[in-house]
C-alpha cells in the first residue's frame, strides 16, 4: 500500500492510493493511521470514500511528530571518505557504531513544495537524498532479527543542510539541519510488502537535471536492521517516529569545486521503488 496525505475539498486527509483513486481514511492525520496500524486500515478500506487522484493533491505524508525527526549520519562510507579534510577542522575517525542526530520537525515540506531559501541564514546550502522509514510498532532494545518488523513503511527525504551553520555550533548537526521549511518528504509511505528489500533501493539526487548522487542502499555502512537496533538500545521507538537512514556520496560540500544550492534550483530526489520529490528553492525570509 501507498499511504498519503492529500488535500481534498480544502482539507488535508490521510488516505491510500489505489491506481487512479485515493481511498480517504477516517483519521485526523497519517500519524493516527500509523498508530492504528495496517490491519486496522485494511478493515476501513472497504467502506472508504474514494476520490480521483492527482499528484498535485499530495502533501508531506507526516507533519505531526511526537519527537524530533531522527537521523543517521555517515551511513555510506564513500560519503564519509569524500568529506575528509573538508569538515573545517572537525574530522573524526570512522565510527564503530551508527552516528545519530535529530532535526526539528518544522523542516518538513511536501513532495512538490518549495524549499525555503534565505542567503542570510547560510551561504552553503547542500542537498542529501535519503531513504527514510516510519516506525509502526513500539520497541526498546530491539534485536536486529526483529527490527524490520517494527517498520510501518518507507519514504524519501532530502536532508537539505546549511554547512556553515553545521560547523559554527561545535560540530553538532541539529542547528545546521533544522531550518524551517527545508526538508522535502514523501511522496508517500510505501509499506514493506510493496517495497521489498530496503537494502536494494536505487537512490538518486538531481540538481537542475544533473545526477549528483547515484547509489544503492546496498552500500550502507550499517543496514536498516542495525540502525533500528542500535538506535532503540535503551531508548523506546514509537509508532510515527521518522528515521532518515543517511545519504550517499556526491554532496555539494565535498565536490571539487563545491556545489551549493541557490534560488531557482530544482532538486529531484528519487528512488526506483518509491517515487520522487521535485522541489525548487524559493526565496523566503527566515532570519
Position 51 confidence tier, pLDDT thresholds 50, 70, 90: very high
Average pLDDT over residues 67-85: 92
Give pLDDT tens digits for 134-178: 999 999 999 999 999 999 999 999 999 999 998 888 778 999 999
Average pLDDT over residues 223-234: 98
Check whether 189 has a pLDDT greater than 80: yes
Q: Which fold has domain 69-283?
A: Fumarylacetoacetate hydrolase; domain 2 (3.90.850)
Position 249 confidence tier, pLDDT thresholds 50, 70, 90: very high
Report which of residues 285 and 84 the model is more confident about.
285
Interstrand relation of 183-190 and 108-109 (parallel, antiparallel or unpaired): parallel
Give pLDDT tens digits for 86-114: 676 667 788 999 999 999 999 999 999 99
Tell me the pLDDT of the chain averaged across its residues. 96
Contacts of 231 (CB under 8 A, 6+ apart): 70, 98, 100, 237, 243
Average pLDDT over residues 119-124: 97
Distance (Å, whole) CA 280 – CA 163:
19
Contacts of 40 (CB under 8 A, 6+ apart): none
pLDDT value of position 89: 62
Q: What is the pTM of this model?
A: 0.97
Distance (Å, whole) CA 47 – CA 274:
27
Distance (Å, whole) CA 251 – CA 247:
8
pLDDT value of position 93: 85
- Among all chains, which residue has been given the C-alpha cell 514523501? 186
SS (H, E, C) the chain: CEEEEEEECCEEEEEEEECCEEEECCCCCHHHHHHHCHHHHHHHHCCCEEEECCHHHEECCCCCCCCCEEEEECCEHHHHHHCCCCCCCCCCCCCCCCEEEEECHHHEECCCCCEEECCCCCCCEECCEEEEEEECCCECCCCHHHHHHHEEEEEEEECCEEHHHHHHCCCCCCHHHCCCCCEEEEEEEECHHHHCCCCCCEEEEEECCEEEEEEEHHHECCCHHHHHHHHCCCCCECCCCEEECCCCCCCHHHCCCCCCECCCCEEEEEECCCEEEEEEEEECCCC
Average pLDDT over residues 224-235: 98
Check whether 42 has a pLDDT greater than 90: yes
Cell of residue 120, nine digits = 542570510
pLDDT value of position 88: 65
pLDDT value of position 102: 97
Q: In percent, how much of the chain has pLDDT > 70?
A: 98
- Domain limits, CATH 3.90.850.10, in the chain: 69-283
Give pLDDT tens digits for 266-287: 999 999 999 999 999 999 999 9
pLDDT value of position 90: 65
Amino acid at each position: 500500500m501507498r499511504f498519503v496525505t492529500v488535500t481534498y475539498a480544502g482539507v488535508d486527509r490521510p488516505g491510500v492510493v489505489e491506481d487512479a483513486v485515493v481511498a480517504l481514511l477516517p483519521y485526523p492525520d497519517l500519524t493516527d493511521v500509523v498508530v492504528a496500524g495496517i490491519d486496522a486500515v485494511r478493515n476501513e478500506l472497504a467502506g472508504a470514500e474514494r476520490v480521483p487522484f492527482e499528484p498535485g493533491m499530495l502533501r508531506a505524508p507526516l507533519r505531526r511528530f511526537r519527537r524530533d525527526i531522527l537521523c543517521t549520519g555517515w551511513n555510506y562510507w564513500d560519503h564519509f571518505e569524500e568529506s575528509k579534510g573538508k569538515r573545517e577542522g572537525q574530522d573524526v575517525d570512522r565510527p564503530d557504531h551508527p552516528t545519530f542526530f535529530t532535526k526539528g520537525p518544522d523542516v518538513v515540506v511536501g513532495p512538490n513544495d518549495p524549499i525555503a531559501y534565505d542567503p542570510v541564514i547560510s551561504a552553503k546550502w547542500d542537498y542529501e537524498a535519503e531513504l527514510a522509514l516510519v516506525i509502526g510498532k513500539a520497541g526498546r532494545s530491539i534485536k536486529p532479527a526483529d527490527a524490520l518488523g517494527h517498520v510501518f513503511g518507507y519514504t524519501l527525504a532530502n536532508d537539505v543542510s546549511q554547512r556553515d551553520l553545521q560547523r559554527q555550533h561545535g560540530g553538532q548537526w541539529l542547528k545546521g539541519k533544522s531550518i524551517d521549511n527545508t526538508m522535502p518528504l514523501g511522496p508517500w509511505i510505501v509499506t514493506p510488502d510493496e517495497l521489498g528489500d530496503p537494502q536494494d533501493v536505487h537512490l538518486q539526487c538531481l540538481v537542475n537535471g544533473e545526477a549528483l548522487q547515484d547509489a544503492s542502499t546496498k552500500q550502507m555502512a550499517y543496514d536498516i536492521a542495525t540502525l533500528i537496533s542500535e538506535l532503540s538500545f535503551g531508548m523506546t521507538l514509537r509508532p510515527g517516529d521518522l528515521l532518515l537512514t543517511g545519504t550517499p556520496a556526491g554532496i555539494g560540500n565535498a565536490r571539487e569545486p563545491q556545489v551549493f544550492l541557490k534560488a531557482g534550483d530544482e532538486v529531484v530526489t528519487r528512488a526506483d521503488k518509491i517515487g520522487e520529490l521535485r522541489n525548487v528553492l524559493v526565496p523566503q525570509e527566515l532570519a
